[in-house]
Amino acid sequence: MGGRIAVLVSGSGTNMQALLDDVAIAPHIAVVLSDRPGVGALERAASRDVETVVLEPSAHPDRAAYTDAVRDALLERSVDTVVLAGYMRVLGSSFFEAFPNRVLNVHPALLPSFPGAHAVADALAWGVKVTGVTVHLVDEQVDHGPVVLQEAIEVCDDDDRDALEARVHAVEHRLLPAAVRALLEGRLVVEGRTVRITEGEPSP
């Protein structure tokens, strides 16, 4: 299983922690990059002796310049696989051209339902009976790329945001490492919007 992973973060880093705790994935994490200084994810990474980088959008004139700065920081470190783990910035096309079908994101809803930054609250407000978690390949549009894994979660009548979010996080922490392992092992087959995960021996 090969690959050098960059994990992009904006907050506390619980999904990144799930990757660090996975013995098959952790050795491949080369760098953790944040758009904000002082967040918990950076402390978690530093505690595991993983290199950390902070690139703040305000230091760049526009989104294109920021996108190029993030891309270049990863390419300088020979990164070939990117995981967005609570990263709250939208990057431009030059980033995805550099890592084609090698960028994964985890989203706390069953896409295409409830895209955006408030998916758990949006699901509760809509009154749905089922929500879930999606891991998908990332393209230029927000929460849009091909779905790799999904798992449904029942919404209980007495759920508030904290209760539902806790169950969502538990699923995220299982699904994201599973998708990352499959990508590292060359077991993702992408055909248009359809992604299959093959079984058996990894690709060479």
Among all residues, which ones are annotated catalytic?
A: 107
Provide the phi-psi class of 114: left if phi over 0, else alpha when psi is between -120 and 50, else beta. Answer: left
Reduce the DSSP state of residue 135 to 3 states and report it.
strand
The helix or strand, by DSSP H or E, that contains position 170, with its residue range, turns out to be: helix 161-184
Is residue 8 within 8 A of residue 166, CB to CB? The reply is no
Is residue 148 within 8 A of residue 195, CB to CB? The reply is yes
* Cα distance between residue 72 and residue 180, in whole Å: 22
Long-range contacts of 117-124, Cβ-Cβ distance < 8 Å, separation of 24 or more: 117/88, 120/161, 120/164, 120/165, 120/168, 121/161, 123/155, 123/164, 124/155, 124/159, 124/160, 124/161, 124/164
Tokens matching residue 52 = 């950390």
What is the number of helices (H) and of strands (E) in the chain?
6, 9
- Residue 182 has phi, psi (to 5 degrees) of -60, -40
